[in-house]
Amino acid sequence: MSPASHIALRFTVSRKRSLALSLVGVIFGVAFFILTQAQTQGFERYFIQTIIGTSGAVIISDRFQSRYTSFSDAGARAAEDVMRSRGQGRRKYYEGITNAAEIMRVARQFSNVSACAPVVQGTVGIRSNFTSEVLSVQGVDLDAQLAATALRSQIIAGRIEDYRASRAGVMLGSLLADKLQVGVGDTVQMTGPDPKPRTFTVTAIFRTGNNIIDERRGYIEQRAAQGLLKKPGLVSVIIVKLRDPDRAPEIAAHFERLFGHRARSWQERERGNLQIFSTLRLSAGITVSLIILLAGFLIFNTLTMAVMEKIREIAILRSMGYRRLDISVIFLGQGILVATIGSVLGAAAGALFTYLVSLIPIKVTGFFYTDRFLVAWSWQHYLTAAAIAFIAVLGASFLPARRAANLAPVATLRGSGQ
């Protein structure tokens, strides 16, 4: 330990009462920062998990054709760039995917792609003995769908195996099933472009937690959907599951160029909602950082008082050969000690608070479904909180430390001698 650090430690211990308040501020500031970040990111991550689990990381849909053409590749790329900069407004779209098998075969060769699922989509009428509703029907290849989405974990009634065994089974969203007042084993009738109704048996009910999906969506076998929607051989979208969903925008952009089909990443599809989460997280972070800044202000106050009280001791230390830097370190050292102890204890308290909050039962539906507080465990929260604590505390310690270092010992000694 350096001589200055040794003195800093002793000064800190001797001023433990006044520094304790600052320390408590840092501890709670760091702890609450970690807690709020863990909560907001916990909900955000679960939301992302829900949307990726339901609709995939990337969705490949309609074929498009550029309205600008060029004989050269460079010219084509330039036109493409122009289109992108204009929000893809210069494209002509053709509904659906006609070569889904070929696109999936190529897509699966990408190392980041773990599964693909073709889906036929459309809107039909659905009628139970109780009422009629609009159904967003999804014609799926069950095995591919299970591999590419979290459908299996979303089933809350019935069994996937019963759906598989049934020749005309349907899996309904939980809210839609409530509206229709049907349960597993009941029958419903669907009416598409062909006015002749078709009968399906409810073999399972799923809940994604997203109300918009749960009150409109239903899954049926793909060929049945093609027949019902009169879209023989057509696939509306391909759901792509990625091993690293964070890279979805790059993969989507690459797929667009490669396949000539629209490809949207989950980040693009949910941009608005993700911005809400980011804003909430930032807002919570700023609010809680104010506690740490307040602690920094207390430290500034304490150290400024300490410099005034220790003015003769600073002069005597200088007379004994302690440098200006040593004097700075003595006072900065007290700040470093408070920031270090505050960050360590704050991180421990933050982890404890986060754990306790995760046990609180709370029912959330709308964006997603959960029956408990969601938290995210990330070392980045702890690192950021500690960084804020150090910046605030060292910033607050800097001015008193500089003042102490710049004190002219002669002025103090001369004044004391008179």
Burial (0-12, 13-18, 19+ Cβ within 10 Å), 303: buried
Choose, by CB under 8 A, the member of 168, 274, 316, 391 that binds other proteins. Answer: 316
Residues 395-414 touching other proteins, rule: CB under 8 A, are 409-410, 413-414
Choose, by CB under 8 A, the member of 14, 123, 153, 181 that binds other proteins. Answer: 14
3-state secondary structure of 409: helix
CA dist., res. 305 & res. 367, Å (int) = 52
Say whether residue 305 binds other proteins (CB under 8 A): no
Report CA-CA distances (Å) from 254 to 51, 97, 257, 306.
21, 17, 5, 62
Stretch that binds other proteins, among 152-160, 187-195, 229-237, 312-320 (CB under 8 A): 312-320
Report CA-CA distances (Å) from 89 to 28, 67, 85, 123, 323.
51, 10, 9, 26, 68
Say whether residue 416 binds other proteins (CB under 8 A): yes
Say whether residue 326 binds other proteins (CB under 8 A): yes
How many CB atoms are located within 10 Å of the residue 325 CB? 11
- Residue 173 in tokens: 């969203």
Say whether residue 311 binds other proteins (CB under 8 A): no
CA dist., res. 165 & res. 142, Å (int) = 11
Choose, by CB under 8 A, the member of 181, 199, 287, 319 that binds other proteins. Answer: 319
Q: Which one, 12 or 201, has the nearer CB to other proteins?
A: 12
Report CA-CA distances (Å) from 349 to 19, 59, 297.
19, 42, 22
Q: Which one, 152 or 323, has the nearer CB to other proteins?
A: 323
- CB of 16: closest distance to other proteins in angstroms? 11
Q: Which one, 272 or 417, has the nearer CB to other proteins?
A: 417
Stretch that binds other proteins, among 43-51, 110-118, 166-174, 323-331 (CB under 8 A): 323-331
Say whether residue 321 binds other proteins (CB under 8 A): yes
Q: What are phi and psi of 66, to 5 degrees?
A: -70, 140
Choose, by CB under 8 A, the member of 91, 318, 381, 403 that binds other proteins. Answer: 318
CA dist., res. 85 & res. 288, Å (int) = 38
Stretch that binds other proteins, among 259-267, 309-317, 360-368, 387-395 (CB under 8 A): 309-317
Q: Where do contacts with other proteins occur on this chain (CB under 8 A)?
A: 3, 6-7, 10-11, 13-14, 312-313, 315-326, 409-410, 413-414, 416-417
